[in-house]
């Protein structure tokens, strides 16, 4: 057992707390003994401060209610050494965290969907920047105790005492942990959200490959990650379900809901999207981990032991062996297959109408920015979205020209709708200025604007004019709104359309320059030159072809999206972004 103690030395060093939290440990596991006695094993790769380990619990929530408050307080009550990081954009979360000082931090710099759902891959990436020894991921509705097993329950009529250490019944009576566990044990379920995951930091990755853009707490992602960690064989994976105690509070809040709010809270497409991603990435669809074969962390005769799921490596006295055999006979708590959920996928569809989408996206002035994109420009679309997120601009919607762009946008959490009348067979690389493809695509813009602004007759005139034109819709805007030769101009930046009495304002070229103005794109430092000019928006046009546009934007340093990770770049440090 000596090599075993060396291999997972930090579990024993930190006592019961880390036994609760440590699911992921150290190294490859072709065989438990081989992994730990291997000559190349280097505990230094996984070293933590044995006297004062940093343990950080990461979670996310859209708001703080009684369930989330109870859960966070239960985590903090486990040990004074625990820090909690909550990923959220909601003001109530920041207000809640302020009551705990530096023990509870709020981070809003990760990627969220337009409805505020956090991305799991962005959360994991962000957790690496906090420099903690032990990383823990848990659902914001999971209460943690100190004994037995983690499970799901819709009945939890208990509360924490004022000291945050003891549990009380509704009438204030103190409850012993064994009593609480007996009550919880009557209702056991399997749910992706009820899985707690923890691992120690180091320079060895959790798994091979890329973590997909799963939405946090929307299913699949916990099972997927466990499956990939096991398959990659880079770390020892421990099933600690028999020594973790907790309850996932799944009972819904009682709130009056309008029809639109029901749509927003249901969000079935988010879970469907996670299922789609689970089939596209990794090996979960083809080879699902059998949790019963994992090494298990157990407690027998007041000792914590690690049992190999495939070979008997415990050599102890009879009383311990009897306990071990009893544990082996228990029904596994973590055998929760999700294969059928991945094999029979529902279509990826929104239940949001264009009207509701616009109502959600519009700012206080009822302004909405409309972007139209096809699949060939999906990465450029995301770079644009990432820049808007950095600037905290949220009042935009996306019109997808094809089904591929629509599904991509849904998975990226964008406010998107599909235009069924958009031209088909859009060329991937040959849709630049002057081509027939370009002319067809640009006319979609005015038609969509007309759908949004049905009461504005001047826009309808533009659409009718453009539909019979062999050019793009830009000349139609000028000819119809400002008249032939500019006869309707009333100043350098305004035209008055006489039939509809609509005044049109033109954007200042110094503030909204096109791709040819002042040769800004040719400057050595495009960003600096544009800021000196006072630009608000720089148009990446007057260059022919998608690849040339892409190259110019990337080389100029104005690219904001990591397509390999499917997340926005972030240069904000945790110290400056969290509070």
Out of 8-12, 36-40, 118-122, 567-571, give the one with best mean pLDDT: 118-122
Assign 148 a pLDDT band (cuts: 50, 70, 90): very low
Whether residue 401 contacts residue 374, with contact meaning beta carbons closer than 8 Å, is answered with yes
Q: Per-residue pLDDT averaged across 22-39, rounded?
A: 37
Whether residue 357 contacts residue 370, with contact meaning beta carbons closer than 8 Å, is answered with no
518-532 pLDDT tens trace? 999 999 999 999 999
Task: Indicate the range of 14-28, 324-338, 499-513 predicted with least confidence.
Answer: 14-28
- Phi, psi for 370 (deg, rounded to 5): -105, 130
Domain boundaries, the chain: 2-252, 354-507
Share of the chain above pLDDT 90, in %: 35
Kindly state the tokens that stand for 29.
């596991």
Return the pLDDT at 79.
Answer: 85
Kindly state the tokens that stand for 25.
């440990």
Return the pLDDT at 243.
Answer: 72
Q: State yes or no: pLDDT of 244 exceeds 90.
A: no
DSSP structure string for 238-300: EE-TTT--EEEE-PPP-----HHHHHHHH-HHHHHHHHHHHHHSSSTTT----GGGSEEEEEE
Closest-CA residue to 497 (of 474, 479, 475): 479
Assign 139 a pLDDT band (cuts: 50, 70, 90): very high
210-225 pLDDT tens trace? 999 999 999 999 999 9
Return the pLDDT at 519.
Answer: 94
2-252, which class in CATH? alpha beta
| Interior angle at CA 339, CA 336 and CA 340, nearest 5 | 105
557-578 pLDDT tens trace? 999 999 999 999 974 444 434 5
Q: State yes or no: pLDDT of 6 exceeds 50.
A: no
Distance CA 550, CA 195 (A): 41
Over the chain, what is the mean pLDDT?
76
438 or 367, higher pLDDT: 367
Judged by DSSP in three states, 319 sits in helix
Q: Mapped to the 3 state alphabet, what secondary structure does 68-124 carry?
A: HHHHHHHHHCCCCCEEEEEECCCHHHHHHHHHHHHHEEEECCCCECCCCCEEHHHHH
Task: Indicate the range of 40-49, 238-247, 268-277, 309-318 predicted with least confidence.
Answer: 40-49
502 bridge partner residues: 497
Whether residue 74 contacts residue 145, with contact meaning beta carbons closer than 8 Å, is answered with yes
295 bridge partner residues: 238
Return the pLDDT at 50.
Answer: 52
Distance CA 94, CA 484 (A): 56
The H or E element spanning position 496 is: strand 494-497
547 or 144, higher pLDDT: 547
Q: Per-residue pLDDT averaged across 264-274, rounded?
A: 83
Return the pLDDT at 564.
Answer: 92
Return the pLDDT at 292.
Answer: 76
DSSP structure string for 139-162: -TTEEE-SSS-EEEES----EE-T
Return the pLDDT at 311.
Answer: 52
Assign 15 a pLDDT band (cuts: 50, 70, 90): very low
Share of the chain above pLDDT 70, in %: 65
Task: Indicate the range of 176-180, 247-251, 344-348, 349-353 predicted with least confidence.
Answer: 176-180
Assign 34 a pLDDT band (cuts: 50, 70, 90): very low
What is the CB neighbour count within 10 angstroms for residue 533? 16
Whether residue 408 contacts residue 375, with contact meaning beta carbons closer than 8 Å, is answered with yes
Q: Per-residue pLDDT averaged across 330-337, rounded?
A: 55
Return the pLDDT at 286.
Answer: 86
Return the pLDDT at 96.
Answer: 96
Return the pLDDT at 242.
Answer: 73
Return the pLDDT at 177.
Answer: 55
Q: Per-residue pLDDT averaged across 234-258, rounded?
A: 65
DSSP assignment letter at 115: T
Assign 334 a pLDDT band (cuts: 50, 70, 90): very low
Whether residue 481 contacts residue 458, with contact meaning beta carbons closer than 8 Å, is answered with yes
Q: State yes or no: pLDDT of 332 exceeds 80.
A: no
Q: State yes or no: pLDDT of 111 exceeds 70.
A: yes
Burial level of 226, CB count in 10 A (0-12/13-18/19+)?
Answer: buried
Q: State yes or no: pLDDT of 443 exceeds 80.
A: no
Return the pLDDT at 191.
Answer: 64
Distance CA 204, CA 38 (A): 16
Return the pLDDT at 432.
Answer: 66
Provide the CB-side half-sphere exposure for 195 (13 A, CA): 26
* pTM recorded for the entire structure: 0.79
Q: State yes or no: pLDDT of 117 exceeds 60.
A: yes
Return the pLDDT at 525.
Answer: 96
What is the CB neighbour count within 10 angstroms for residue 221? 28
447-461 pLDDT tens trace? 777 677 663 455 566
Distance CA 410, CA 270 (A): 8
Q: Per-residue pLDDT averaged across 81-92, rounded?
A: 94
């Amino acid at each position: 057992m000596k090599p075993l103690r060396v291999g997972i030395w930090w579990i024993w060093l930190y006592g019961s707390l880390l036994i609760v939290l440590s699911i992921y440990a150290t190294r490859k596991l072709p065989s438990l003994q081989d992994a730990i006695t291997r000559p190349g094993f280097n505990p230094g790769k996984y070293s933590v401060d044995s006297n004062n380990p940093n343990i950080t619990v990461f979670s996310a929530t859209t708001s703080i209610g009684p369930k989330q408050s109870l859960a966070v307080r239960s985590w903090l009550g486990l040990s004074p050494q625990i820090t909690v990081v909550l990923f959220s954009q909601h003001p109530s979360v920041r207000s809640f965290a302020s009551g705990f000082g530096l023990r509870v931090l709020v981070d809003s710099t990760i990627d969220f969907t337009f409805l505020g759902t956090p991305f799991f891959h962005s959360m994991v990436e962000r957790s690496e920047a906090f420099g903690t020894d032990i990383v823990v991921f848990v659902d914001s509705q999971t209460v943690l105790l100190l004994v037995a097993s983690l499970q799901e329950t819709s009945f939890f009529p208990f509360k924490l005492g004022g000291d945050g250490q003891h549990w009380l019944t509704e009438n204030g009576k103190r409850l012993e942990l064994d009593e609480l566990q007996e009550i919880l044990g009557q209702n056991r379920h399997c749910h992706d959200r009820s899985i707690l995951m923890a691992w120690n930091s180091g320079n060895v990755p959790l798994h091979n490959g890329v973590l997909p853009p799963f939405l946090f707490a929307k299913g699949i992602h916990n099972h997927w990650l466990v499956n990939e960690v096991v398959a990659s064989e880079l770390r020892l994976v421990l099933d600690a379900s028999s020594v973790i105690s907790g309850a996932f509070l799944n009972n819904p809040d009682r709130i009056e809901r309008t029809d639109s709010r029901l749509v927003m809270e249901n969000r079935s497409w988010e879970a469907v999207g996670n299922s789609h991603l689970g089939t596209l990435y990794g090996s979960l669809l083809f080879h699902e981990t059998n949790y019963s074969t994992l090494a298990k962390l157990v407690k027998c005769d007041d000792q914590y032991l690690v049992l190999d799921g495939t070979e008997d490596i415990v050599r102890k006295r009879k009383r311990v062996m009897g306990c071990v055999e009893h544990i082996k006979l228990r029904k596994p708590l973590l055998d929760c297959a999700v294969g059928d959920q991945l094999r029979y996928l529902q279509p990826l569809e929104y239940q949001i109408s264009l009207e509701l989408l616009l109502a959600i996206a519009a700012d206080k002035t009822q302004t909405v920015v409309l972007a139209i994109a096809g699949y060939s420009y999906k990465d450029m679309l995301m770079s644009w979205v990432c820049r808007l997120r950095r600037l905290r601009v949220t009042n935009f919607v996306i019109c997808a020209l094809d089904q591929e762009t629509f599904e991509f946008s849904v998975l990226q959490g964008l406010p998107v709708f599909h235009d069924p009348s958009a031209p088909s067979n859009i060329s991937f690389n040959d849709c630049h200025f002057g081509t027939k493809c370009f002319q067809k695509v640009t006319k979609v813009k005015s038609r969509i604007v007309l759908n949004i602004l049905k009461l504005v007759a001047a826009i309808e005139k533009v659409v009718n004019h453009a539909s019979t034109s062999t050019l793009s819709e830009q000349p139609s805007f000028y000819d119809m709104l400002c008249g032939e030769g500019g006869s309707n101009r009333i100043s350098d930046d305004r035209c008055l359309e006489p039939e509809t009495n609509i005044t049109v304002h033109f954007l200042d070229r110094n503030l909204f320059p096109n791709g040819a103005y002042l040769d800004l794109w040719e400057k050595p430092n495009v960003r600096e030159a544009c800021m000196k000019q006072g630009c608000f928006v720089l148009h990446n046009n007057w260059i022919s072809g998608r690849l040339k546009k892409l190259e110019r934007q990337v080389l100029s340093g104005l690219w904001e999206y990591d397509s390999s990770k499917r997340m926005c770049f972030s240069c904000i440090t945790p110290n400056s972004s969290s509070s």
